[in-house]
Amino acid sequence: MALSTTVSQRKQIKRKAPRGFLKRVFKQRKPHLRLESRGDLLVHLNCLLFVHRLAEESRANACEDKCGVINKDHVLAAAKVILKKSRG
């Protein structure tokens, strides 16, 4: 029939979501709010996409400078752009 609402603990999920960490962070910042069980998975997805975009942008910056290594400045510039985009 239907699957369980939680993932079986014995499963070895690759690229696991740090659900506990996310929930704890949310609780620390907004203790009066509650986060749903499936919500933190979507938060994890959001983080992944954010990091993905950030990485793409920094890589583009680094390649623009014809630098083989990603520098702090590249990341900084990329972060500015992406954070603005992810403002919502």
Partner 1 sequence: MADNWDSEPTIRTVLQRVLDNADSRTPRRPRSSGAGAQRTLLTTSSSRRLSSRTKTSAKQRSHGVRSIGRLAHIQVIGNLKEQTPRTLVENILITAPKSSILTPEAMVKPVPALQVVQPSRRESSQGSLELQLPELEPPTTLAAGLPASDRKKQRLRLSVFQQEVDQGLPHLQEHPENADAPSLTSSFNLTFATPLKPQSVRRPGLARRPPRPRAIDVGALLQDLQDNSLALAPPGDSLKTPIANLPSDTVLEDTQPFSQPLVGCSPSVHRSLPNPFPTGTEDAERTTGDRTQSSGPGLQNHKVMEAEESQETMETEEPEGSSEDENTSDRPASPQLASSTPRFLQAKRLHSILEPAPPPDVAVLPSETREPVSARLTPRPRTAGSRPRQDSYKAGLNHYAKLFSFYAKMPMERKAFEMVEKCLDKYFQHLCNDLEVFAAHAGRKTVRPEDLELLMRRQGLITDQVSLYVLVERHLPLEYRQLLIPCAFSGNSVFPVQ
Q: What are phi and psi of 8, to 5 degrees?
A: -60, 140
Site for partner 1 in 3-42 (CB under 8 A): 3, 5, 7, 9-36, 38-39, 41-42
Q: Which of 55, 43, 57, 52 is nearest to 88 (CA)?
A: 43
Q: Give the number of residues in contact with partner 1, rule: CB under 8 A.
A: 68
The backbone torsions φ and ψ at residue 19, rounded to the nearest 5 degrees and listed phi first, read -65, -40
**Where do contacts with partner 1 occur on this chain (CB under 8 A)?**
1-3, 5, 7, 9-36, 38-39, 41-52, 54-56, 58-59, 62, 68-72, 74-76, 79, 82-83, 85-88
